Amino acid sequence: MWLTKQLSDEAILKELGGRLAALRLARNLTQAQLAHEAGVSKRTVERLESGEVAARLSGLVRVCRILGLMDRLDALVPLPAPSPVEQLRLAGRQRKRASAARETSAGRTRKWTWGDES
pLDDT in tens, 27-72: 899 999 999 999 999 999 998 889 886 667 778 888 888 888 888 8
Q: Which domain holds residue 71?
A: 9-76
The answer to whether residue 69 sits within a structural domain is yes
The answer to whether residue 55 sits within a structural domain is yes
Provide the residue count of the chain.
118
CA gap 17, 37 in Å, rounded: 18
pTM: 0.60
What pLDDT, in 10s, does the model give residues 78-111? 666 777 777 777 776 666 666 666 665 666 666 7
The answer to whether residue 52 sits within a structural domain is yes
CA gap 82, 112 in Å, rounded: 20
What total number of domains does the chain contain? 1
CA gap 66, 60 in Å, rounded: 10
* CATH number (domain holding residue 33): 1.10.260.40
